[in-house]
Amino acid sequence: MRYLPCLLLWVFARVWGQSEAQRENFPFRCLQISSFANSSCSRTDGLAWLGDVQTHRWSNDSDTISFVKPWSRGKFSHQQWEKLQRVFQVYRTSFTRDIQELVKMVSVIHYPIEVQLSAGCEVYSGNASENFFHVAFQGECVLSFQGTSFQKAPEAPPWMESVIKVLNGDQGTRETIQQLLSDTCPQLVRGLLEAGKPELEKQEKPGAWLSKGVSPKPGHEQLQCHVSGFHPKPVWVMWMKGELEQKRTQRGDILPNADGTWYLRATLDVEAGEEAGLACWVKHSSLGGQVMILDWGGRQSSVGVISGVVAVIVVIILSCLVFCYVRKRRSYQDIL
């Protein structure tokens, strides 16, 4: 009994923590893509995303960061952005030079070279945040930044050892990265979440419709369920038979519509004639806990059912009329 209040508090904290985390689930990711065709030609481009929304762009052809959304400046002042831009300009120049030097020094590296860098952070309630920094070389993860220093990835080639040693010897760079990741990034993201709140948290209800596609298997049919116009992106779509999930449901990629909402198609291959009782279920945060259900049978025979019902009603009315008429005639006959 003595532990019950503690336990309740723990459960409450977990549930509360979860809903908080869900509400603020907007990781900020910066992507750097560098392509080196040869020793004299290279380019470095950058992109940034908050959750599923692109917020910034930095082309090789430009010295300035482009703000994709009206709220992409967040709560940073003009001076703060100027300062950040200068840091990135210096970084881009020295990064390009460093890679070119590396190719000269390490005999096993040859052009063309692709380097990708993914870095960013996610903020939580309170002052908590997490950050990440990963680098891929020729498509393989080679290093990450953890805490205060660079670490070699397990699958990295042996020459990375000396690169990491050099990088970790440069205290200025380490401090700059640490500050960008653990101070600047969360501060920027809090500002973006506030400034972009109406767009990030907008709720748009999905529309849905069914259609029949061609199945690759002979004697099979492909049932298609299209769900479109929803926001935010997370959505649950499943083909069901009664209450039973059809695990063979194939989900496509969630694709963007031009208006900032999303589209998803879920298909199910069934043997021809086995469509009876199947329905497409859609769950989405905008539906307030309700499930949208589209019956395959309903789609197929809704017109048939309605005319059937109408026919039955007409028959009942007609027989009623005939019955009454006959009874009336009879009563007249009785009188006559």
State yes or no: residue 62 binds ligand NAG (CB under 6 A).
no
Alpha carbon 241 to chain centroid, angstroms: 27
Closest CA to 163 of 135, 130, 205, 188: 135
State yes or no: residue 60 binds ligand NAG (CB under 6 A).
yes
Q: By C-beta, is 37 or 293 nearer to ligand NAG? A: 37
From residue 162 to residue 201, what is the string marking binding to ligand NAG with x (rule CB under 6 A)? ---------------------x------------------
State yes or no: residue 43 binds ligand NAG (CB under 6 A).
yes
3-state secondary structure of 261: coil
Q: By C-beta, is 40 or 107 nearer to ligand NAG? A: 40
Q: Distance between CA 149 and CA 41 in Å, rounded?
A: 30
State yes or no: residue 127 binds ligand NAG (CB under 6 A).
yes
From residue 306 to residue 335, what is the string marking binding to ligand NAG with x (rule CB under 6 A)? ------------------------------
Stretch that binds ligand NAG, among 35-43, 79-87, 159-167, 309-317 (CB under 6 A): 35-43
Helices (H), the chain: 4-23, 78-105, 160-169, 171-179, 185-195, 197-200, 296-335
DSSP track, 294-312: EEHHHHHHHHHHHHHHHHH
Q: How would you list the strands of the sheet with 28-36, edge to edge?
A: 66-67, 53-58, 42-50, 28-36, 113-123, 129-137, 140-146, 149-152
| Min CB(96)–ligand NAG separation in Å | 7
Sequence-distant (6+) residues with CB within 8 A of 185 are 28, 120, 121, 129, 131
Q: Distance between CA 267 and CA 237 in Å, rounded?
A: 10
Q: By C-beta, is 96 or 285 nearer to ligand NAG? A: 96
State yes or no: residue 80 binds ligand NAG (CB under 6 A).
no
State yes or no: residue 40 binds ligand NAG (CB under 6 A).
yes
Cβ–Cβ under 8 Å, residues 132 and 120: yes
| Min CB(114)–ligand NAG separation in Å | 13
For the segment 223-242, give every residue that binds ligand NAG (CB under 6 A).
Answer: none
Q: By C-beta, is 97 or 329 nearer to ligand NAG? A: 97
From residue 96 to residue 125, what is the string marking binding to ligand NAG with x (rule CB under 6 A)? ------------------------------
Which of 19, 38, 64, 179 is close enough to bind ligand NAG by CB under 6 A? 38
Stretch that binds ligand NAG, among 39-47, 68-76, 190-198, 261-269 (CB under 6 A): 39-47
Q: Distance between CA 167 and CA 169 in Å, rounded?
A: 5
3-state secondary structure of 170: coil
- Return residues touching ligand NAG (CB under 6 A): 37-38, 40-41, 43, 60, 127, 183
